[in-house]
Structure 1
Amino acid sequence: MNALDRRFLAAIAAVVAFAATAAAQVVQGSSTPTKVHVRSGSLTLGALLWRPNGKGPFPAVLFNHGSARKQDRFIELLGPLFARHGYVFLFLYRRGLGLSVGQGTYSTDLLDRERTTNDQDAANRLQVRLLETDERDDALAAIAFLRALPEVDPLRVGLVGQSFGGSLALLVAERDSTLRAVIDFAGGAQSWERSPDLRDRLLTAVRRSSVPTFFIHAANDYSVKPGETLAAEMSKLGKLYRLHIFPPVGQKAGDGHGFIHLAPERWETEVFEFLDDQMRR
């Protein structure tokens, strides 16, 4: 074997070793969360925290959940998945739900009450008020909590949100320009057509935000116009964004809206490529 052959084989061995190390990093992480508490004003909200294996400091992600009253399917999937990819992952229960029962009233209950007492337009206006006040304040408190953890790099924090939580992520990014990335799964899809208040507010948010944002829908979501419209606005303003409308999932609009937990194998690669590009540079 000549010197050239030896150098070639050494280079191949180095590539294989690097790939093996990268693969090992992807599969490391805790599948068991720790219960934690986040102070937001006078409230103490419950949350679940997953940590990757190793010393850190690690990048971190706050997940803003949607309006469903049961969140088990998101918790069981997302926390371990993000930890395996090397991210500290915080699942914050919103006011009045899950580990935050007794801490304020759940927004879905407030909106149902407003719709019954008044009408849908009144509920639309209330939704926007909640997003830009109590809900955003709680998310900002959770971000501060993450940044204070010794295993978190405070300069590498991002947001992931689904449905109501996707809309919330955009409003949080409007307020906190130090966030490194936002992933918006189906934000505003159920409300977009019926709520000009929400449409206007989310457009304002992306105009003000400087945070790179990835908009994601399944084609059979209730509406894909939120992602298309907001991505077009960011494009017009020269801001960093990505938009992907994935093929339909299941048979119903509700299936498409639940794309995040029904078909993670479809979005996993792209989402973590986007996060890694923005948060590991």
Structure 2
Amino acid sequence: MRRAAAALTLVLLPAAAIGCSGEDPAPAPGPPATTSPARPGPDPSGPTQPPTPAEQHPTLPPATDTPSLANLMRADFDGRGLRVLRTELRTDAYTRQQVAYRSNGTLVSGVLLRPHGRGPFPAVVLNHGYIEPSIYVTGQGMAREQDWLARAGFVVLHTDYRGHAAGDPATDRERELRLAYARDSVNAVLALERLRYVDADRTAMVGRSMGGGVTLNALVAAPGLVDAAVIYASVSSRFLDNLRHFTAANRPEAVRALHAAYGTPERSPDFYRGLSSRTYFDRITEPVLIHHGEADATCPPRWSRTTHALLREAGVASRLVTYPGEDHTFYARFADSMARTTRFLRLHLSG
């Protein structure tokens, strides 16, 4: 794993009340000894013959005078200063602590789960789904994944993103565009790698719902940053899909503000394309595992099918597993999906 982050610092903006909730149902038990596959056919976490990953572009797409992924690709990422705020609990397998780190000067909070032992351990950054920032509490949204992965031997850093919990405030425009959330996620990896008990050459991202979109944005912005990525019940990789599906229904004033500042999709198509990760999928160098429930009424399964097809077309080693009858919460099949996730991560973070 070696990163490709260019060197041009700029202030960027992430996104809005785009509504895939990251609320957790009751915690599930830890990793089972055996699990059933989600559907017949090859296990996506097992050895495969994927297409050759796309080579990183020798040149970047043109910079823009509006917020864009092309500009985020030029960011001078500098995650550092991860410090413990307080210890929440110690289990038989790990210690869970509230932490904060610096994302290019912005303070971002989160939770850190450290397995017992000296390490160095492989590590995972978790990108949570949408939860209204005014009611969000630190570490919320992926408690089941935190526990499972820490018990599986991974150091886990769940980033709250700016504007959430104990972090520095976010602007309304940052909430709407969500580019800064991707910046915070990239910097979370860099801050995590500085810990002496983390193996900096074995890192990954796992994103859920809105966090799936954050993860895809991070992968195109910083190819080579991590070794693998897993996405659950993701929002669309096309910014306009999310804007129309979530923001227009829940915060129409935010859509009007975007149109006033940057133009409508009809007048400024390049602006909206520049916020869509799929525009730059050929930059992604990491294998990607996608989970989606076929009964998901929040983030339509067709979004993940399209994302998967476009990733494959771009040369990315993408795998999609769909779960009949499973909805957005991934409750009934959560253990199955996490067993697959753990195998996938162990395969690609094997050193």
Q: TM-score, normalised by structure 1?
A: 0.72
Q: Distance in 2 between matches of 1:77 and 1:230?
A: 25
Please state if 1:257 is matched with 2:328.
Answer: yes
User: Aligned to 2:93, which of 8, 25, 29?
Assistant: 29
Alignment check: 8 A CA contact 1:28 1:86 kept: no
Aligned twin of 1:84: 151
Once the two structures are superposed, the pairs formed by residues 139-218 of structure 1 within 5 Å of their partners are 139-178=185-224, 179-189=226-236, 192=241, 194=244, 197=272, 201-218=276-293
Change (3 A) 1:73 1:200: closer
Q: Distance in 2 between matches of 1:28 and 1:237?
A: 43
Change (3 A) 1:99 1:198: farther
Give the gaps of 5 or more residues in structure 2. Answer: 1-32, 34-90, 246-264, 266-271
Alignment check: 8 A CA contact 1:171 1:205 kept: no
Larger Rg: 1
More helix by share: 1
Amino acid in structure 2 at the alignment position of 1:55: R
Amino acid in structure 2 at the alignment position of 1:233: L
Indicate the larger mover: 74-83 or 55-64. 74-83
Give the gaps of 5 or more residues in structure 1. Answer: 1-22, 112-125, 250-255
Alignment check: 8 A CA contact 1:28 1:83 kept: no
Change (3 A) 1:43 1:238: closer
Q: Distance in 1 between matches of 2:328 and 2:154?
A: 25
Q: Distance in 2 between matches of 1:98 and 1:278?
A: 32
Q: Distance in 2 between matches of 1:243 and 1:167?
A: 15
**Structure 1 position 58, deviation (Å):** 0.9
Amino acid in structure 2 at the alignment position of 1:270: R
Please state if 1:98 is matched with 2:165.
Answer: yes
SS for the counterpart of 1:91 is strand
How many residues end up aligned between the 2 structures?
228
Alignment check: 8 A CA contact 1:231 1:241 kept: yes
Please state if 1:67 is matched with 2:126.
Answer: no
Change (3 A) 1:110 1:59: closer
Q: Distance in 2 between matches of 1:228 and 1:93?
A: 28
Identity across matched positions, percent: 26
Q: TM-score, normalised by structure 2?
A: 0.59
Alignment check: 8 A CA contact 2:128 2:142 kept: no
Please state if 1:52 is matched with 2:115.
Answer: yes
